[in-house]
Structure 1
């Protein structure tokens, strides 16, 4: 594959964005995974610079004022953002840059990086999405219901994205993403 490109993977919580991105990186170790920044505290096992860049609110606000974010959004009381400089640098070096972000941030990418290829990942059904969220074992029943409500709202935006892919079969979803990337390049 030739030429730099920003590839955005988004969709509701529980659709398998992270699984798809990890599988793409296994198939294509030459891809660069952009690391987001957040103002939330690190979770157990998370590594600075690998999982996220963990920043204080003042530092994040300073970066907003300096236009250092490709996109940023507030989610669950914390800020999340994509460092602009690193993404632009890697694309200029002809790298394919993967960005796994939430839907609001992915919408903003269209304004700040209009040539990005933006994928919206969908669940096979709302029932399957609920099962996946419950099987994680990380959220209360109330939190799962909030995530499902938000997923319904986010899925209404899917037509704003370049391609929609149902993540029912991992290999088929990966193949569809790879074909679209190759076609764009």
Structure 2
């Protein structure tokens, strides 16, 4: 496939519990050109999560210093914790022609769009709010009060899908991944992404 030289910045977000992490991992297993941008967070690690692989786990003081030094593409406070995207890794990956996917909250996606509007913004939807609640409960990592907080936030976040380029329902992981692959392929073939490349091909020395 003829494609542009620069990589794509792909932003995947949606309510907590919708399966963003699961979909990202499945996508990266079958598409080696997609790199994962590891986010920084102040929330404690869940069972099985590894620092520097799943997240960069930071104290609130460490995170605030990253903000002061402008080391983050975006950051947001969500349910009493901070989340953010380290900037330099994103820039380096795109420059090398590799796609990079950011798995971030809706607040963070809005900030990225302000700074990088040419990114590809995908909203991952649950089949229903009832299904979303069941997924959060099944994780077994949140208290009853926190689950209610997440559900209240989720309803507000779903209303923000109007700010995204695409909406993908995560009814089944493999199906959701195929939909995202189709989006990425189409984005690489957009005329405005390929014009400079073809102009170079037809230049007469």
TM over 0.5: yes
Per the normalisation by structure 1, the TM-score is 0.92
2:163 paired with 1:163: no
2:131 paired with 1:128: yes
CA distance in 2, matches of 1:23, 1:139: 24
2:89 paired with 1:86: yes
Per the normalisation by structure 2, the TM-score is 0.84
CA distance in 2, matches of 1:43, 1:178: 28
Instruction: Select which of 114, 117, 120 maps to 2:117.
Output: 114
1:35 Cα deviation (Å)?
0.4
Query: Is the contact between residue 40 and residue 54 of structure 1 (CA under 8 Å) also seen in structure 2?
Result: yes
Q: Which has the larger radius of gyration?
A: 2
1:16-95 matches, cutoff 5 A: 16-95=19-98
Secondary structure of 1:133 counterpart? helix
Secondary structure of 1:4 counterpart? coil
CA distance in 2, matches of 1:117, 1:98: 9
1:44 Cα deviation (Å)?
4.1
1:132 Cα deviation (Å)?
1.5
2:164 paired with 1:154: no
Query: Is the contact between residue 91 and residue 97 of structure 1 (CA under 8 Å) also seen in structure 2?
Result: yes
2:100 paired with 1:97: yes
CA distance in 2, matches of 1:47, 1:172: 27
Secondary structure of 2:75 counterpart? strand
Gaps of 5+ in 1: none
Aligned to 2:181: 178
1:169 Cα deviation (Å)?
2.5
Aligned length: 185
CA distance in 2, matches of 1:143, 1:56: 21
Kindly report the root-mean-square deviation, in angstroms, between the aligned alpha carbons of the 2 structures: 1.6
Secondary structure of 1:80 counterpart? strand
CA distance in 1, matches of 2:64, 2:146: 28
